[in-house]
């Protein structure tokens, strides 16, 4: 039975989403929401939507309670959560409410807000797999697809209902109308698949704060790309002077010390692509974040050569994000900018602080590649 | 879904017991609903159909989340209507259903007999549905966004009513100033033969006009401060017909729900008293005792920062019954100062039951607490007042003194816990501005909310609106002219 409340409930959810959309820019630079990430949903804290009323200042209000305790004993906290606010229906003004939003919706909002172009997947984009699966039952069909169990169930049902079923002599005879046949559904499987390869500098000069920025930014990149591709792989590479592939947890939480040789990461990245993600079949998105300090000019040249000769040919776009930290920034972005023209599929972006994430996402994803 | 045969048999039994106890209720219809539907009905304030508004959706979200996380569960809903409708949760255990049915008969009796409900619409079920379809009609005609925006505005001031007004017969307004004899036109003294020169026709015209202007100013609107702000706006705000209709729907519904807020403690207390009486004296089987006790005590549970109306209500009714059974009232009892004598006081009057029936008939929460809350009761129930300790940011126990507790309770119940807002003038500064006054009784208004609400009122009134209120011991006047707020300091309070 459908509920009448459905309409009001949807309207309410839309209002909430409108609010999130309006303040998305602010949400983009915040990290609270990622702690509450489920498989397909995130819960986002939004200020309670409320109809204003003339009402008393709750901080001044007194209440009456019951129970043990001396004068001066603490019975609750003032933030108004849970007990303490005393009188029914009297909730403090700035309640926070958690709203669950699916990642798809979030991506849609992000796309609208940043005016991101839809990505045209390449590779086997037009090839879709057709697959037949027998998932349902129908009343007509060829005898070869007859479903015995359902047919007899139906016949038994009919006989019981019409009173012709005899318990002592339980013979069930299906009639024409009892017959049930297996039926199939053709599903199309789009083949456009993508891989995101995250690389991060974890050398001594990268602080927690910078990593936080990387984490927030990659959450949004992930959300967007996932909405564009049916299937997506994520790979993670960390590097200081040496690079290695790690899992997601390690990626965000490792801190090493030592120098930085960016080319090491690019080599690992290249290996991963060569081994698992042939460019003809995959949309490849390497993202690299560092503070821009590199070991030496020589290594800068190594990187450029790697990009020029190998990497750029094997990926949709290569993104480099330079995160500013307490030690300032290096000049790797500058080196890249000088060596590659805008037409090439290398995108660089500088992220000064959390507020810069918004623009940076736009830089990376605004090209629609 | 209708009751199952088993439940219906139980219902018949419980109903008979309730009748034997002389409960007098409306015909009561039970319906069995699943948790989803229960949450829906509860979100609609107990009705299966309401006008469309997102606030019900918000309520639903909270209720269904609360249910899903196991934080709360609604056992029953009952609606003040003739016949009385009650919804039972399908998943309740049998003993719960019994308890709830007995509880419902208590509520139904209270709705029918308590004086404060006398003026409520007993066909609310139909009325609410009609309100819904009227508003749906407006949505069709004027568009969803328009109507929703207007509903939002109306709902911000839905609490600005005068819950006592249905009981007051007011004299018909003597506003018709046209009936008063006109003041004589003022003339400058002169000799008769000079009169036409000193008081020429044009001058007299002028004087006459001044008189009329003065009379105009005398016509204050409203004549007396008006607490029913909604009524005032209905009469005087420049609204279109459909807007007036919506505002009056909101106002009617506010008046319908007001007595439930005015008698929360009594109503729940009365229903709890009867479910407990009916269950423990007649309807419990041996195997149900433990579950019953568990659920009853759950309902009666108290937590330090919360006043449980069920608990306070039932205990107060029991206390009254006991006092009138033993004759613990009247001059002799009040004058007696022997502690041991007081403790053993028993005149075997047996008037208790009769008394509580009388109490349920004539009192509301305020008079109930004011009349029957005694010092002994307060100390037996371990009641205290609490408030915010601003230095630590914690709520702390402040006092266990009887008078303070009673005052605080009464204060929180006064005007259903809402601030007093009056319309003082609908033509403030002779510029058609609205002047509202918050009658200060010790608590300031939540500032941000007050400002937002003022904006809403301005939306309805179409001209600037002003609110006189008190903040940090200062009288202030907050004004909103449609785009900006202004705040004027009016003076210090003594």
Whole-angstrom distance, CA of residue A142 vs CA of residue B434 = 80
Whole-angstrom distance, CA of residue A92 vs CA of residue A78 = 9
How many domains does chain A fold into? 3
A259 and A162 fall within a common domain:
no
Q: Are A217 and A362 in contact (CB under 8 A)?
A: no
Binding-face residues of B in 190-249 toward A, CB within 8 A: none
End position of a domain, from candidates A188, A208, A227: A188
What is the dihedral angle through the alpha carbons of A101, A107, A112, A117, rounded to the nearest 10 degrees? -170
Whole-angstrom distance, CA of residue A309 vs CA of residue A303 = 10
pLDDT tens digits along A41-73: 777 777 767 888 999 987 778 888 888 888 888
Instruction: Output the pLDDT for position A85.
Output: 34
A252 and A332 fall within a common domain:
yes
Residues of chain B with pLDDT below 70 are 170-183, 216-219, 494
- A69 shares contact with chain B (CB less than 8 Å): yes
Q: What is the CA angle B28-B33-B34, rounded to 5? A: 160
B288 and B389 fall within a common domain:
no
pLDDT band of A86, cuts 50, 70, 90: very low
pLDDT tens digits along A247-285: 888 887 777 777 788 888 888 998 988 888 887 778 888
Instruction: Output the pLDDT for position B478.
Output: 95
A195 and A184 fall within a common domain:
no
pLDDT band of A92, cuts 50, 70, 90: very low
Instruction: Output the pLDDT for position A129.
Output: 61
End position of a domain, from candidates B371, B386, B414: B414
Is 0.85 exceeded by the ipTM?
Answer: no
A164 and A195 fall within a common domain:
no
A221 and A337 fall within a common domain:
yes
| DSSP codes joined into one string, A174-201 | --GGG--EEEEEEEEEE--EEEEEEEEE
For residue B340, what are the domain limits? 301-414
In a domain, A347, yes or no: yes
CB spacing of A57 vs B58 below 8 angstroms: no
End position of a domain, from candidates B385, B414, B443: B414
A143 and A208 fall within a common domain:
no
B84-89 vs B28-33, strand pairing mode: parallel
B292 and B308 fall within a common domain:
no
The most distant pair of C-alpha atoms in chain A lies apart, rounded to whole Å, by 94
- Beta strands of B51-177 (E only): which ranges? 76-79, 84-89
CB nearest to B396's CB, from A58, A74, A93: A74
In a domain, B214, yes or no: no
In a domain, B32, yes or no: yes
Set of chain A residues whose Cβ sits within 8 Å of the Cβ of B302: 65-67
End position of a domain, from candidates A161, A188, A215: A188
Instruction: Output the pLDDT for position B280.
Output: 94
CB spacing of B388 vs A78 below 8 angstroms: yes
Min Cα–Cα distance to chain A from B462, Å: 19
Interface test with A, best of B39, B56, B58 (most A CBs within 10 A): B58
A247 and A348 fall within a common domain:
yes
What is the dihedral angle through the alpha carbons of A321, A326, A331, A334, rounded to the nearest 10 degrees? 50
For residue A105, what are the domain limits? 1-49+95-113
End position of a domain, from candidates B351, B385, B414: B414
A155 and A208 fall within a common domain:
no
A163 and A234 fall within a common domain:
no
In a domain, B191, yes or no: no
B286 and B306 fall within a common domain:
no
A150 and A245 fall within a common domain:
no
Instruction: Output the pLDDT for position A128.
Output: 58
A17 and A140 fall within a common domain:
no
Is the model more confident about B373 or about A216?
Answer: B373
Min Cα–Cα distance to chain B from A20, Å: 16
Instruction: Output the pLDDT for position B218.
Output: 62
Q: Are A220 and A363 in contact (CB under 8 A)?
A: no
How many domains does chain B fold into? 2
A323 and A178 fall within a common domain:
no
In a domain, A248, yes or no: yes
Q: Which residue of A has its CA nearest to B447?
A: A57
- A305 shares contact with chain B (CB less than 8 Å): no
In a domain, A118, yes or no: no
pLDDT, chain A, mean: 79
Set of chain A residues whose Cβ sits within 8 Å of the Cβ of B417: 56, 87, 89-90
Min Cα–Cα distance to chain A from B257, Å: 14
């Amino acid at each position: 039975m459908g509920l009448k409340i459905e309409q009001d409930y949807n309207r309410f959810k839309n209002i909430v989403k409108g609010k999130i959309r309006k303040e998305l820019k602010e949400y983009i630079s915040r990290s609270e929401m990622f702690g509450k990430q489920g498989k397909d949903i995130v819960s986002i804290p939004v200020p309670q939507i409320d109809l204003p009323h003339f009402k008393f200042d709750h901080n001044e209000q007194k209440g009456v309670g019951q129970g043990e305790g001396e004068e001066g004993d603490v019975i609750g906290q003032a933030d108004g959560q849970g007990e303490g606010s005393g009188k029914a229906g009297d909730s403090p003004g700035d309640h926070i409410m958690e709203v669950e939003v699916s990642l798809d919706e979030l991506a849609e909002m992000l796309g609208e807000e940043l005016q991101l172009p839809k990505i045209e997947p390449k590779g086997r984009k037009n090839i879709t797999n057709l697959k037949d699966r027998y998932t349902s039952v129908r009343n007509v069909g060829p005898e070869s697809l007859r479903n015995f169990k359902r047919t007899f169930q139906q016949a038994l049902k009919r006989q019981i209902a019409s009173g012709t079923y005899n318990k002592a002599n339980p013979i069930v005879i299906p009639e024409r109308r009892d017959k049930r046949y297996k039926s199939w559904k053709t599903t199309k499987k789009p083949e456009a698949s993508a891989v995101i390869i995250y690389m991060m500098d974890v050398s001594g000069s990268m602080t927690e704060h910078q990593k936080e920025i990387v984490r927030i930014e990659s959450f949004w990149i992930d959300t967007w790309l996932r909405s564009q591709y049916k299937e997506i792989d994520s790979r993670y590479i960390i590097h200081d002077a040496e690079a290695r592939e790690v899992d997601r947890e390690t990626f965000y939480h490792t801190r090493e010390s030592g120098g930085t040789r960016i080319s090491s990461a690019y080599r690992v990245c290249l290996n991963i692509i060569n081994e698992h993600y042939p460019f003809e079949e995959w949309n490849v998105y390497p993202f690299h974040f560092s503070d821009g300090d590199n070991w030496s000019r020589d290594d800068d040249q190594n990187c450029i050569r790697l990009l020029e000769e190998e990497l750029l040919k094997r990926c949709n776009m290569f993104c480099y994000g330079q995160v500013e930290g307490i030690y300032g920034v290096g000049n790797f972005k500058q080196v890249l900018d000088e060596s590659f023209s805008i037409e090439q599929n290398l995108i660089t972006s500088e992220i000064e602080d959390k507020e810069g994430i918004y623009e940076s996402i736009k830089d990376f994803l605004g090209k629609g590649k | 879904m209708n009751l199952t045969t088993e439940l219906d048999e139980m219902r018949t039994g419980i109903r008979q017991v309730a009748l034997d106890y002389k409960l007098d209720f409306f015909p009561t219809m039970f319906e069995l609903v699943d948790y989803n539907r229960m949450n829906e009905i509860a979100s609609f304030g107990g009705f299966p159909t309401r006008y469309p508004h997102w606030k019900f959706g918000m309520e639903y979200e909270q209720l269904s989340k609360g249910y899903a996380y196991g934080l709360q569960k609604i056992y029953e809903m009952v609606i003040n209507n003739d016949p009385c409708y009650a919804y039972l949760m399908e998943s309740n255990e049998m003993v719960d259903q019994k308890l709830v049915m007995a509880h419902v008969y208590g509520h139904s009796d209270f709705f029918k007999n308590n004086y404060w409900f006398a003026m409520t619409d007993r066909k609310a079920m139909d009325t609410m549905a009609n309100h819904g379809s009227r508003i749906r009609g407006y949505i069709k005609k004027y568009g969803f966004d328009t109507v929703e925006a207007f509903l939002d505005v109306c709902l911000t001031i839905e609490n600005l009513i005068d819950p006592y007004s249905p009981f007051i017969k007011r004299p018909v307004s003597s506003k018709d100033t046209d009936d008063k004899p006109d003041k004589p036109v003022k003339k400058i003294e002169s000799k008769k033969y000079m009169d036409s020169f000193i008081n020429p026709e044009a001058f007299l015209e002028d004087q006459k006009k001044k008189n009329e202007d003065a009379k105009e100013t005398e016509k204050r609107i409203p004549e007396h401060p008006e607490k029913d702000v909604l009524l005032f706006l209905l009469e005087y705000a420049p609204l279109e017909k459909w807007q007036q209709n919506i505002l009056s729907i909101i106002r009617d519904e506010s008046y319908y729900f007001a007595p439930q807020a005015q008698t929360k403690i009594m109503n729940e207390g009365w229903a709890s008293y009867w479910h407990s009486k009916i269950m423990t004296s007649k309807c419990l089987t041996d195997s149900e005792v433990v579950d019953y006790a568990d659920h009853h005590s759950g309902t009666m549970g108290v937590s330090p920062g919360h006043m449980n109306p069920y608990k306070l209500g039932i205990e107060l009714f029991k206390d009254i019954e006991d006092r009138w059974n033993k004759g613990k009232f009247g001059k002799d009892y009040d004058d007696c100062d022997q502690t041991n004598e007081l403790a053993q006081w028993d005149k075997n009057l047996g008037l208790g039951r009769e008394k509580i029936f009388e109490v349920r008939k004539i009192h509301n929460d305020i008079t109930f607490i004011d009349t029957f809350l005694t010092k002994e009761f307060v100390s037996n129930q371990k009641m205290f007042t609490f408030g915010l300790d601003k230095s630590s940011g914690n709520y702390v126990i402040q006092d266990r003194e009887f008078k303070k507790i009673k005052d605080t309770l009464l204060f929180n119940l006064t005007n259903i816990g809402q601030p007093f807002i009056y319309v003082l003038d609908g033509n403030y500064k002779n510029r058609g501005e609205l002047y509202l006054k918050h009658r200060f009784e010790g608590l300031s208004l939540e500032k941000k909310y007050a400002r937002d609400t003022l904006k809403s009122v301005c939306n309805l009134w179409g001209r600037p609106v002003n609110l006189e209120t008190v903040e940090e011991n200062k009288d202030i006047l907050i004004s909103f002219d449609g785009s900006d707020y202004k705040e004027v300091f009016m003076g210090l309070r003594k």
